[in-house]
Amino acid sequence: MTQTRTVETLLEQLTLEEQVSLLSGADFWRTVAVERLNIPQLKVSDGPAGVRGGGPLVGGKKTAAFPVGIALGSTWNVELLREIGQHLAREAKDKGAAVLLAPTMNLFRSTLNGRNFESYSEDPFLTGKLGVAYVQGLQERGVAATVKHFVGNESEYQRNTISSDIPERALRELYLVPFEMTVKEGKTLAVMSAYNKLNGIFASENKRLLTDILRTEWGFNGLVMSDWFGSHSAGESVRAGLDLEMPGPARARASLLEEAQNDEATREAVKTAARNVLNLLVRTGVLDSPLDVRDENERDEEYADTRELIRRAGAESIVLLKNEGDLLPFPAGAKVAVIGPNGAKGQVMGGGSAQMNAHRQVSPLEGLQAALAEEQVTYHIGCYNDKFLPIFAGGFNIEYRALGGEEVLAREHRPLGEIMWFELPAGIPRAFQATLTTTLNITEAGTYELSLASAGLTRLHVNGEAVVNNWEDFRQGDTYFGFGSDEVRGEIHLTEGEHQVLIEYRTADVPHGFGMSAVRFGFRKPLPETSVQEAAQLASEADYAVVCIGTNGEWETEGVDRWGLELPGRQDELVREVAKANPNTIVVLQTGGPVLMPWLADVPAVLQAWFPGQEAGFAITDVLLGQAEPGGRLPQTFPARLEDDPTHPETPDLQYPGENGHVEYQEGLFIGYRHVDRHSLTPLFPFGHGLSYTTFEIGSVQVSTEEVQPGETVNVTVEVRNTGQRRGQTVLQLYVHDVETSLERPEKELKAFQKVTLDAGESQTVTLPIDMRSFAYFDDTRDAWVADAGEFHLLIGQSSANLTVQLSVTLASEWVQSVRNA
């Protein structure tokens, strides 16, 4: 940036109207340019598991799809997250974006949060460390991170209006910690405010949150933007510390210029916010070297290193939950039956704003076929697990009209059976009607299911016959971020040949969310009742049965919470029947969070594979065949039953999902493994759990001092040895237990960890540092972090339930760090 083109110089040259213009987006993904002063647009893009660019949520330009957040959380690998951030920066620049809306720093308070798959962990320390690495990797390659959603967005129920009522200690010790770490350690350049209220005040206009804590206490000097359509005021939000309203054009801030003209405090706040926008342009290099914000490159083949990274990260995220008799890995010469609804589908991502048009979606079937001879691999779907009917594979020819009009204003072809109209053809108003036509080519006569889900009113006709009516009886449901209808289904008998489909659409007269318009056409032929038995029979003819079950991005999605913990459809039945037919049954489970496993005792091996990105089938195959280690360790407790979740009493109430506009975090500090310890529960699988294809032994452990002085850092050195026959990975985990606390605290808290990769017989000494905050709790009566004098236990092992080493240290005197004048 030249001497004559400093931020302060530009700020003085900007008129008040121009300053105000910088504080709301120009469109969905770009900020406003000020051509008079050569201030360019800044483009942002959704993450966190890829870079979609400026395209729609479905379709659009292809891009690399990385493992989702919970998968990356299960790697416990800080350096891997940094490497992924570096690659995402390259992807962002290819899409003309200098800001990525990622990473997601919210915690797993509840197993039923629909967006858990985007986050890393139930533990704030693990979440923070991984987030810091992601931010650093992204930003060292010139793309700004935007940590989100600040703060208290731990469920999707009424997220746009609900107040997350969080006790101060829980807020400080759990929910703020990952954000604090990404600000102080990661130096994130941007923060996104949450949709929800925090203790009665919208996060996007919460001065205590955005100014007092974020800027004054933590020293943040970057940009704060709203979540999309998540701002609710003009001058008030700017004075509270919200710099940028997204998307544009200005909506909540339509009156901001008038307010600023009439109020000095608002004018000063506008100037400060404009400074933050300009600083972000400078820090991303965009001010002097603008990116082509229209650039939507689809680079794939030339980025072989990214494909390799996604495959490697996907394998390292897979958690080996069970491996009786060392069934895995199985030999390459085996005959394998791939069974289940996720077998021939690449379930690579969750739903909502995190989804993208991946370069490819490799299924487990494709992965195994590529690794083995094709004749060694057979397949049967067994059952369905879709929440909705599959999207029609063809596209639509569309004619647009004004509401009530006859004249066709525009025509276009859309290649997919689902459309979200974020952008309309030129001249088409936001309120419109359309007819969508397509052809069904039926090769087998029979009964078929058809469905519509829409943000707007829809009717479906086949050959002139009405099949689905989502018009007169339109009801808002769970689709399209909670602003579309539920899916409405119909059935029709179709003969072989071509059949004409007509869908009528019009924007609804009732509010249906952010002006969103969308339609989804589902279509399929039902499976026969005997399909599960047919799958089991096929499995009986193979050496190994790989049952690929779980969920998909319809179940695990933004805008609606998870359905429960039971697997949908006939999947539990399918596992049981296959296990009866073949004793070498391996379950590959792909979900965005915990599920119940009533068949666990019936199968010898279970892999938790999450949604591991576009190379999913290759990563899963690598682990099944032992070409890669199952490197994952659970970042979330898997409860034995829903009632063991800390936020789920027998009936829904104020604690979850909330009542009368409030959700109370009544469990306080006790989520995840903290809740397990407090109530002496036995989870299905504990936090930090994961098996290896080899074995590890913890050797000598030493602490740098047994008498700790206030302000001192304690270093714990741990020797670990690979006692098995092959190379493998483990995670050393260190938890702190306060023996003599003056306030109630969790039984133990994760405060250090290290991923270790060792060859057979190799040993390594690892250093785990423990600082004062690791010993401290937050005293809300003193507004301070406090570590009591006295004894602490340091618990070391390979999961929260497998802590084989205990050391004792003593803090010589009380340590206090006030936040009042931080």
Residues with a known catalytic role: 227
Residue in 69, 116, 76 with CA at minimum distance from that of residue 647: 116
φ, ψ dihedrals at 98, nearest 5°: -110, 0
Closest CA to 552 of 347, 365, 360, 341: 347
- C-alpha span between 690 and 320 (Å, rounded): 5
Nearest in space to 223 (alpha carbons), one of 275, 276, 183? 276
CA pair distance 42, 98, nearest whole angstrom: 7
Q: How far apart are CA 114 and CA 563, in angstroms?
A: 9
| Cα distances (angstroms) measured from residue 84 to each of 130, 271, 306 | 11, 36, 9
Closest CA to 213 of 167, 174, 172: 172
Q: Beta 497-506 vs 410-414: how paired, if at all?
A: unpaired
Q: By the 8 A CB rule, do 151 and 108 touch?
A: no
Rounded to a whole number of angstroms, the distance between the first and last alpha carbons of the chain is 32
Q: For residue 415, give Cα distances in angstroms to 3, 328, 553, 704.
A: 50, 42, 20, 63
How far is residue 818's CA from residue 822's CA, in Å, rounded to a whole number? Answer: 7
Q: How do 396-402 and 410-414 pair as beta strands?
A: antiparallel
Q: How many Å apart are CA 637 and CA 565, to the nearest integer? A: 13
d(CA 805, CA 807): 7
Q: Which residue has the tokens 């008129």?
A: 15
Q: How far apart are CA 394 and CA 482, in angstroms?
A: 26
Please name which of 381, 418, 355 lies closest in space to residue 555, comparing C-alpha atoms.
355
What count of other Cβ atoms lies within 10 Å of the Cβ of residue 117?
Answer: 30
Q: Burial level of 327, CB count in 10 A (0-12/13-18/19+)?
A: middle
591 three-state secondary structure: coil
Residues whose CB falls within 8 Å of the CB of residue 338, separated by 6 or more in sequence, listed in order: 344, 364, 365, 368, 377, 378, 379, 380, 546, 548
What contacts 605, CB < 8 A, 6 or more positions away?
320, 322, 323, 324, 327, 328, 585, 586, 587
User: HEC states along 7-48?
Assistant: HHHHHHHCCHHHHHHCCEECCCCEECCEHHHCECCCEEEECC
Beta strands, E only, 552-635: 585-590, 605-608
Contact call for residues 808 and 791 (beta carbons, < 8 A): yes
Q: Hey, which residues does 25 pair with through a beta bridge?
A: 31
Burial of 510 (0-12, 13-18, 19+ CB in 10 A): exposed
